Amino acid sequence: MDDDLPPDLPRLRTLETWAAHYLTRIRTRIAAVERQQAQPQPVPAPTAAPVPPAAGPRRARTPDWGITETGVGTSAAEVHRGDCWATGKTLRPVSAERARAELADGMRACAVCCPDRVLNRP
């Protein structure tokens, strides 16, 4: 005899009942899946794949140029590239034209990213 089965008749009958019930459930599920697979499946219409955002789902797009207000007690502004690490959290995005105009009007360029070298090229 198998060691994993109980030795007494009442528990063996209980296992037999449970196994018969479970076998019925399995056969019912098999029949349902066979019926589902026998039906013709509709062909989904082709759709364009969604384009994931370039900067991630929760990050805003990094601007190309920006202005930060710096200085403690005095307001001094600097022009930065958008990917400059020295901007802190106060970078205000601006267009390249506005950044060029601010530099031409005397606003200081960041010494780290040197936006004036790129923006002042002809």
Q: What is the pLDDT of residues 83-122, one digit of tens each?
A: 888 777 778 888 888 888 888 888 888 888 888 888 775 4
- Does residue 36 contact residue 30 with C-beta atoms inside 8 Å? no
More confident residue, 1 or 65: 65
Look at residue 79 and tell me whether its pLDDT is greater than 80.
Answer: yes
The pTM for the full model equals 0.47
Angstrom CA distances, 64 to 58, 69, 75, stand at: 19, 17, 23
* Phi, psi angles (nearest 5°) of residue 3: -80, -20
pLDDT in tens, 20-51: 999 999 999 999 999 999 988 787 777 776 66
